[in-house]
A and B are shown apart, each in its own frame.
Chain A
Amino acid sequence: MTGDEILVAARDLRRDYAMSAGVVHAVRGVTLDVRAREYVAIVGPSGCGKSTLLNLIGAIDAPSSGTLAIAGQRLDGLPDRDATLFRLRRIGFVFQRFYLMPVLTALENVELPMSEAGLGKTERRTRARELLAYVGLGERLHHRPTELSGGEQQRVAIARALANKPALLLADEPTGELDARTGEEMIALFERLNTDGTTIIVVTHDEDLARAAHRVVHMRDGLIVDDRRR
Chain B
Amino acid sequence: MTEPAVALHEVRFAYRGSANVLDIPALHIARGERLFLHGPSGSGKTTLLGLIAGVLAPTSGRVQVLGTDLGALGSAQRDRFRAAHIGYVFQMFNLIPYLSVRENITLPVRLSSARRERLAGTDADREAARLAAGLEIDGLLDAPTAALSVGQQQRVAVARALMGAPELIVCDEPTSALDSDRRERFLELLFDSVQNAGSTLVFVSHDLALATRFGRTVALTQVNRSSSVVAA
Q: Do these two chains interact?
A: no
